Amino acid sequence: MTVREQIDDFRNQKRIAVVGVSGEPHDFSRGLFREFCQRGYDMVPVNPKLNEVEGRTCYGRVQDVVPPVEGVLLMTSPAVTEQVVRDCAEAGIHRVWMYRAVGAGAVSPSAIEFCKTRDIHVVPGECPYMFFRETGFVHRAHGFLKRVTGSLPH
């Protein structure tokens, strides 16, 4: 499956956990969480330091989420990503998106390899905003630049 096919497959799921969503309302991860919610997704926050996010129960680990999610968006450091993909395997989750806009983001080469060995489809980077229709100017510009340079998955 190509990266673009994995992105489309992930976006076709309706119940998604965001691991590492911030307690700060103005944080980028919260904005992305709200965007998914506004687009009709059943979003589940996961952060062991929080009890709720945007009025939704926040879980400490993906294994604790009931009913289970169909995919996990990681907004974590690469070191945390490595543990979370193991948690996903334990919970039977087969779709993971490791967020990245600039820098490493949540991407971890060893976590990607772990996913491949456990039949977990992984989007190794990219910002979900670039794949939404009618998104903000900055995200459209980011997507345009990636298209022009040939680095946007197609």
Domain-embedded: residue 83: yes
| pLDDT one-digit tens code per residue, 51-93 | 999 999 999 999 999 999 999 999 999 999 999 999 999 999 9
Domain-embedded: residue 154: no
Domain-embedded: residue 8: yes
Concatenating the DSSP letter of every residue in the chain gives: --HHHHHHHHHT-SEEEEET--SSTTSHHHHHHHHHHHTT-EEEEE-TT-SEETTEE-BSSGGG-SSPPSEEEE-S-HHHHHHHHHHHHHHT--EEEE--SSSSTT--HHHHHHHHHTT-EEEES--GGGGSSS--HHHHHHHHHHHHHT-S--
Q: Would you say residue 44 has pLDDT above 90?
A: yes
Q: What is the pLDDT of residue 33?
A: 96
Domain-embedded: residue 119: yes
Domain-embedded: residue 144: yes
Q: Dihedrals φ, ψ of 16, to 5°? A: -130, 135
Task: State the residue range of the domain holding 119.
Answer: 3-149
Domain count within the chain: 1
Q: Would you say residue 110 has pLDDT above 70?
A: yes
CATH code, domain carrying 29: 3.40.50.720
Question: What value does the mean pLDDT take over residues 36-42?
Answer: 95
Beta-bridge mates of residue 123: 97
Residue with more model confidence, 100 or 47: 47
Which burial class, exposed, middle or buried, applies to 74 when counting CB atoms under 10 A from its CB (0-12, 13-18, 19+)? Answer: buried
Domain-embedded: residue 136: yes
Averaged confidence pLDDT in the chain: 87
Domain-embedded: residue 36: yes
Domain-embedded: residue 106: yes
Q: What is the pLDDT of residue 70?
A: 97
Q: What is the pLDDT of residue 58?
A: 97
